[in-house]
Structure 1
Amino acid sequence: MIDTHSHIYLPDFDEDRAEIVANAQKAGVQKILMPNIDGQSVRSVISVEEEFPGYCYAMMGLHPTSVKGDYLEQLANVEYWLRQQDFLAIGEIGIDLYWDKTWEREQREVFRTQLNWAKKMGKPVVIHVRDAFEAVFQELDKVHDGSLKGVFHSFSGNKSQARRAVEYQGFMLGINGIVTFKNSNLDKVLTEMGPEKLMIETDAPYLAPVPYRGKRNQPAFIKHTLEKLAAIFDMTPREMDELTTRNAAQLFGLDVQ
């Protein structure tokens, strides 16, 4: 298993990070991929990658909910770090209109800018979208030419949004604990489109799967998402593991056993 989206560099894990990583390894997680949030989280995400080399991988990007009045300064900081070292991907980026629509224009600009960086650098993108699928699709349409690839992280959209998302060549859906929630209806959405373009993630410390819902999430819990997906598609957990791991390895250019 590869946890394709985890924030184990956040302060939530400062007291027991090594134990959390050991738990993940014990549970069969081969790699943990960590998207950046903004300028405040950069050094943490890099330091965790350095602490667990070849196991934890840093990405670089500006999260949409961090797009405020200082967004140009924040963008410049991301660009600076992208020049300093090689990151696995550009992320997490996107548009989030759930909490606040005040900065929609700026969020669109920041998203588009980072998509163009990804194209130039040949890096995959990790897209955060909440109450903003139409806006995300509009911005993707402006820049997508077949050279972009990436994942719609924490996917929880409807059937038409799922279909449209994977119509972008090279794009997949990141599935986490939401699929185990009783009223998410995500199982019905996924059943219609098939398992071929899926990857698994935790979004730790958020969105812990059943039976840990409401608790601090961690990469070791990803097996519950895997097992739920396997049940949805009438596959064995091993078959689902092989499929989702292969998808993640191909998208992010990872070597896996």
Structure 2
Amino acid sequence: MIETHAHIYSDKFAEDIEEVIDRAKVDGVERIYMPNIDSESIDAMLEMEYRYPGYCIPMMGLHPCSVGKDFEKELYIVEDWLSKRSFAAVGEMGTDLYWDKSMFEEQKEAFRIQCSLALKHQLPIVIHCRESMDETIELLEGYQESGLFGVVHCFSGTIAQARRIVELGFKLGLGGVATFKNGGLEPVMQGVDLQHFVLETDSPYLAPAPHRGKRNEPAFIKQVALKIADERKIDISEVVEVTSTTAMLIFENNNNPN
């Protein structure tokens, strides 16, 4: 399995990170992709890359909840890092109308700038969109002919939204919400082709059932794969094979897998 989205550098793992990584490896997680948050998270993220080379793989971007009045300064730092070395993706970036709606125009500008950076460096983008799915789709529609691609992380929308996102050249990151009784993602798991999914946990957040309410960790990604397999009436091995192939096409080859 490939874990496409985990904040494994979070201080919530400070006491037992070696055990967390060991559990992930034992449970079949072959690599972990780490989304950046802002300038303050870079050092911790790159430290994890240093400690686990080829296993913990960084992205570079600015999270929408870190978009403030100084967001252009933050994006200069993102741009500088992208020019200095390789990263798997531009992310975590996107929009968020859950916590604070006052910065939405700035979030949209940061979104567009990071899309431009991704196109310049021929990288995928990893999109956060909480309470802003339709707004994010509208933003992406402006790039439909550009070749922009990537993942809509922590997808929690309708099947109509899922199909539109796939039409726009993006994949759906399925995590803990897919296992929740009230998650509502059964139609998506049943009705969208398996090749359009990648697995994620968003650790340390959104732990899947039966671990809901606990600290999430990459080893729990198996619960997501099992849920998809159950909904599609297929073996988990097929889910793992297909989602891992898709993840590799996105992050390793930097090719649009559509």
TM category (shorter chain) comes to: over 0.9
Residue by residue over 1:189-238, the C-alpha shift from the partner in whole angstroms, topping out at 9 and shown as x without a partner, is: 32122322001000000011111000000001110111110011111011
* Alignment partner of 1:199 is 2:185: no
CA contact (8 A) 1:45 1:58 kept: yes
CA contact (8 A) 1:116 1:143 kept: no
Counterpart AA for 2:54: G
- Tell me the CA shift for residue 133 of structure 1: 1.7
Specify the SS of the correspondent of 1:185.
coil
Q: Quote the Cα distance in structure 2 between the aligned partners of 1:146 and 1:242.
A: 29
What does residue 28 of structure 1 align with?
A: 28
* Alignment partner of 1:166 is 2:166: yes
Aligned length: 253
Aligned counterparts, 1:73-92, within 5 A: 73-92=73-92
Q: Quote the Cα distance in structure 1 between the aligned partners of 2:138 and 2:153.
A: 18
* Alignment partner of 1:177 is 2:176: yes
CA contact (8 A) 1:112 1:143 kept: no
Residue by residue over 1:4-46, the C-alpha shift from the partner in whole angstroms, topping out at 9 and shown as x without a partner, is: 0000101111111111111100000000000000011011111
Residue by residue over 1:133-170, the C-alpha shift from the partner in whole angstroms, topping out at 9 and shown as x without a partner, is: 2221222222332421100000000111111110012x
Q: Quote the Cα distance in structure 1 between the aligned partners of 2:85 and 2:146.
A: 26
CA contact (8 A) 1:94 1:107 kept: yes
Counterpart AA for 2:218: P
Unaligned runs of 5+ in 1: none
What does residue 256 of structure 2 align with?
A: none
Residue by residue over 1:32-75, the C-alpha shift from the partner in whole angstroms, topping out at 9 and shown as x without a partner, is: 00000001101111110111001010000000010011111111
Counterpart AA for 2:237: R
What does residue 220 of structure 2 align with?
A: 221
Q: Quote the Cα distance in structure 2 between the aligned partners of 1:179 and 1:225.
A: 7
* Alignment partner of 1:249 is 2:252: no
Over 4 Å off, 4+ runs: none
Residue by residue over 1:174-201, the C-alpha shift from the partner in whole angstroms, topping out at 9 and shown as x without a partner, is: 0001111011110123212232200100
Unaligned runs of 5+ in 2: 254-258
Residue by residue over 1:63-95, the C-alpha shift from the partner in whole angstroms, topping out at 9 and shown as x without a partner, is: 001001111111111111112211111000101
The sequence identity of aligned pairs, in percent, is 45
Specify the SS of the correspondent of 1:174.
strand
- Tell me the CA shift for residue 131 of structure 1: 1.2
What does residue 3 of structure 1 align with?
A: 3
What does residue 69 of structure 2 align with?
A: 69
Residue by residue over 1:230-257, the C-alpha shift from the partner in whole angstroms, topping out at 9 and shown as x without a partner, is: 0111110111110111110111126xxx
Range moving further from structure 2, 191-200 or 156-165: 191-200
Range moving further from structure 2, 126-135 or 88-97: 126-135
Q: Quote the Cα distance in structure 2 between the aligned partners of 1:142 and 1:192.
A: 26
What does residue 95 of structure 1 align with?
A: 95
CA contact (8 A) 2:141 2:168 kept: no
Counterpart AA for 1:231: D
Specify the SS of the correspondent of 1:199.
strand
Range moving further from structure 2, 8-17 or 245-254: 245-254
Q: Quote the Cα distance in structure 1 between the aligned partners of 2:245 and 2:85.
A: 26
